[in-house]
Structure 1
Amino acid sequence: MDAFTYQANKLYVENIAVETLVERYGSPCYIYSKTALMQRFQAFDQAFGARPHLICYAVKANSNLALLNVLAQLGSGFDIVSLGELKRVLAAGGQANKTVFSGVGKRADEIRSALELGIKCFNVEVSAELDRINHIAGELGVIAPVSFRVNPDVDAKTHPYISTGLKENKFGIEIHQALLEYQRAAAMPNIKIVGIDCHIGSQLTDIAPFLAALEKLLALVEQLSAVGIDLEHIDLGGGLGICYNQEQAPEPAEYIQALLSRLANSNYTVLLEPGRAIVGNAGILVTRVEYLKPTEHKNFAIVDAAMNDLIRPSLYSAWQNIIPVDKTGAGDERVWDIVGPVCETGDFLGKNRTLALKPGDLLAICSAGAYGFSMSSQYNSRPRVAEIMVQDDKVQLIRARETIEQLWLGEQLMV
Structure 2
Amino acid sequence: MTAPLPALPAKIHPLVRDFLDSRDAVEDTLVRFGSPVHLVFPQVYAENLKRMRAVLEKRIPQHRICYAHKVNQSRAFVRTAEHAGIAIDVASPQELASAIGAGFGPMRIEVTGPKGDVFLRDLIDCGATINVDNLWELRRIAELAGDRAKVPVLLRVSGFDGTPMSRFGVPIGHMDRAFDILSAHRGRIAFLGFAFHIDSGEPAERVRAIDACLNLVEQAYSHHLAPTVLNIGGGFRQVFTADADRFDGYVRSLREALLGRGESMSWANNTFGYHIEGGAVHGTPVFHKYANTIPATRMLDDLLTAPLERHGGRTVAQVAGDNLLTVWLEPGKALVDHAGVTVARVVFVKELADGTVLVNVDLSRDSVTPADQEVMVDPIVLPSAAHESAALPVEFGDGTVRPLRSAADTAPALRPAAETGPVGVYFAGHLCLERDLITNHKVWLARCPRPGDLVVFPNTAAYHMDLSAASASMHPVPAKLAVAHRAGSFQVCRDIDYEPHIPVGLPPRGTPPRGPRRPQAPRRSTGAP
TM-score (norm 1): 0.85
CA contact (8 A) 1:72 1:93 kept: yes
Matched, 1:93 2:90: no
Corresponding residue to 1:179 among 168, 176, 181: 176
**Structure-2 separation of matches of 1:286 and 1:194:** 44
CA contact (8 A) 1:31 1:390 kept: yes
1:341 corresponding residue in structure 2:
430
**Structure-2 separation of matches of 1:290 and 1:111:** 47
Matched, 1:263 2:317: yes
**Max Rg structure:** 2
**Partner deviation per Cα, 1:254-287 (whole Å, 9 max, x = no partner):** 5145325313133211111011111132000101
Shift of 1:316: 2.6
**Structure-2 separation of matches of 1:141 and 1:68:** 30
Residue correspondence of structure 1 range 145-294 to structure 2 within 5 A: 145-153=152-160, 166-167=164-165, 169-188=166-185, 189-201=187-199, 204-245=200-241, 246-252=291-297, 254-256=299-301, 258-259=303-304, 261-264=315-318, 265-294=322-351
Single out whichever of 380-389 and 216-225 deviates more from structure 2: 216-225
**Structure-2 separation of matches of 1:297 and 1:225:** 69
1:403 corresponding residue in structure 2:
none
Q: Measured at CA, do residues 367 and 206 of structure 1 come closer, stay the same or move farther in structure 2, by a change above 3 Å?
A: farther
Q: Measured at CA, do residues 198 and 383 of structure 1 come closer, stay the same or move farther in structure 2, by a change above 3 Å?
A: same
Q: 3-state SS of the aligned residue for 1:11?
A: helix
Corresponding residue to 1:304 among 362, 365, 379: 362
Residue correspondence of structure 1 range 1-20 to structure 2 within 5 A: 1-4=12-15, 6=17, 11-12=20-21, 17-20=25-28
CA contact (8 A) 2:369 2:464 kept: yes
Q: 3-state SS of the aligned residue for 1:346?
A: coil
Shift of 1:229: 2.3
**Structure-2 separation of matches of 1:211 and 1:94:** 31
Q: Measured at CA, do residues 108 and 391 of structure 1 come closer, stay the same or move farther in structure 2, by a change above 3 Å?
A: same
* Residue identity (%): 24
Which amino acid is 1:275 matched to? G
**Structure-2 separation of matches of 1:126 and 1:318:** 34
Residue correspondence of structure 1 range 306-345 to structure 2 within 5 A: 306-312=364-370, 314-326=371-383, 329=392, 331-345=420-434
Which structure 1 segments of 5+ residues have no match?
156-164, 401-415
**Partner deviation per Cα, 1:53-104 (whole Å, 9 max, x = no partner):** 1110111101222221111000121111111111100111122211111112
Q: 3-state SS of the aligned residue for 1:132?
A: helix
CA contact (8 A) 2:127 2:151 kept: no
CA contact (8 A) 2:296 2:334 kept: no
**Structure-1 separation of matches of 2:95 and 2:16:** 33
CA contact (8 A) 1:240 1:249 kept: no
CA contact (8 A) 1:44 1:252 kept: yes
**Structure-2 separation of matches of 1:179 and 1:130:** 13
Higher RCO (CA-CA < 8 Å; seq separation 6+): 2
TM-score (norm 2): 0.67
| Bigger strand fraction | 1
Shift of 1:12: 3.7
Q: 3-state SS of the aligned residue for 1:177?
A: helix
Shift of 1:297: 5.3
Aligned residues: 381
Shift of 1:335: 1.2
**Structure-2 separation of matches of 1:360 and 1:4:** 25
**Structure-2 separation of matches of 1:316 and 1:185:** 41
